[in-house]
A and B are shown apart, each in its own frame.
Chain A
Amino acid sequence: MKLYNLSALIDDRPTDGVFRINRSLYNDPELFHLEMQHVFEGGWVFIGLTSQVENIHDYYATRIGRVPVFVGRDKHGKLRCFINACPHKGARIVSRTSGNARMFVCPYHSWTFDSAGSCKNVKWEKSGCYAKGFDEEDHNLKEIARFGEYRGFLFGSLTPDVPSLEDYLGESRHMLDLVADQSEQGLEVVPGRARFTYAGNWKMQLENCSDQYHFTSTHSSLIKVMERRARGENTAAVESSLAGADFWKGSAEGVAGGSFILENGHVVTWGRMDPNPSLALFDRYSDLVAKFGKERTAWMFNMRNLTLFPNVQVAVNASTQLRVIRPMAHDLTEMETWCLVPKGESAEARRLRIRQYEDFFNPTGMAVADDNAVYEECQAGIAAQEGPWLQGHARGLGGTVDGGDAYSAMIGVRPSRSIAGPSQLADETLFQGYYHEWIKRMGAVLA
Chain B
Amino acid sequence: MSTPTLAQSEELIFREARLLDERKFEEWIDLYVEDAIYWIPAWRDDNTQTQDPDKELSLIYYRGRENLRDRVDRLKSGLSPASRVHPRVAHLISNVEIEQKGQGEAIVHSTFAVHAYDPRTDRASCHFGHYLHRFRSADEGWKIASKIVRLANDLIPTVLDVNTI
Contacts and interface: CB of A to CB of B under 8 A. Distances in A.
Interface of A: 96-99, 190-199, 218, 220-222, 224-225, 228-229, 233-237, 334, 338-339, 347, 350-351, 354-355, 357-358, 362-366, 369-370, 372-374, 376-377
Contacts of A369: 80, 82-83, 158-161
Contacts of B11: none
B73 A225 contact: yes
Given A192-B43, A224-B73, A369-B161, A218 B60 contact: no
8 contacts: A191-B55, A191-B56, A192-B42, A354-B53, A366-B71, A366-B74, A369-B82, A373-B81
Nearest to B71: A366
A135 to B, nearest CB: 37
Interface string B138-165: 0000000000000000111111110001
The secondary structure that dominates the B interface is loop
B80 A221 contact: yes
Interface string B62-77: 1111110111011001
B99 interface: no
B70 A225 contact: yes
Contacts of B54: 347, 350-351, 354
B155 A196 contact: yes
Q: Most B CB atoms within 10 A — which of A190, A192, A229, A338?
A: A192
A370 B42 contact: no
The secondary structure that dominates the A interface is mixed
B7 interface: no
Contacts of A191: 44, 50, 55-57
A229 B70 CA distance: 9
A275 to B, nearest CB: 23
Interface residues of B, number: 47
Contacts, number: 153
B14 interface: no
Contact of A224 (B61, B74, B155, B161): B74
Contact of A373 (B45, B67, B74, B82): B82
A358 B60 contact: yes
Top 4 closest pairs, chain A to chain B, by CB: A236-B64, A192-B57, A192-B42, A221-B80
A192 B50 contact: yes
Given A198-B158, A221-B77, A369-B158, A193 B70 contact: no
A370 B82 CA distance: 5
Nearest to B81: A373
A363 B158 contact: yes
A195 B156 contact: yes
Contacts of A233: 66, 69
A196 B1 CA distance: 43
A363 B66 contact: no
B120 interface: yes
A96 B46 CA distance: 7
Given A191-B50, A372-B158, A228 B59 contact: no
A377 B121 CA distance: 9
Interface of B: 40-46, 49-50, 53-67, 69-71, 73-74, 77, 79-83, 120-121, 123, 154-161, 165
A339 B57 contact: yes
A96 B43 CA distance: 13
B70 A228 contact: yes
Nearest to B51: A191
Nearest to A220: B79
Contacts of B74: 221-222, 224-225, 366
A234 B41 contact: no
B57 A357 contact: yes
A191 B50 CA distance: 7
A224 B72 CA distance: 12
A363 B43 contact: no
B155 A195 contact: yes
B43 A193 contact: yes
Given A351-B55, A354-B55, A377-B81, 6 more contacts: A192-B49, A221-B80, A224-B73, A237-B67, A354-B61, A366-B74
Q: Most B CB atoms within 10 A — which of A99, A222, A234, A334?
A: A234
A225 B46 CA distance: 34
Contacts of B44: 191-192
B95 to A, nearest CB: 24
Contacts of A377: 81
Contact of A234 (B60, B66, B155): B66
Nearest to B63: A236
B57 A358 contact: yes
A42 B60 CA distance: 38
A355 B70 contact: no
B158 A196 contact: yes
A197 B157 contact: yes
Nearest to A347: B54
B88 to A, nearest CB: 17
Contacts of A374: 81
Given A195-B155, A369-B161, A364 B60 contact: yes
Contacts of A229: 70
Nearest to B154: A195
A363 B57 contact: no
Given A234-B66, A370-B80, A370-B81, A190 B57 contact: yes
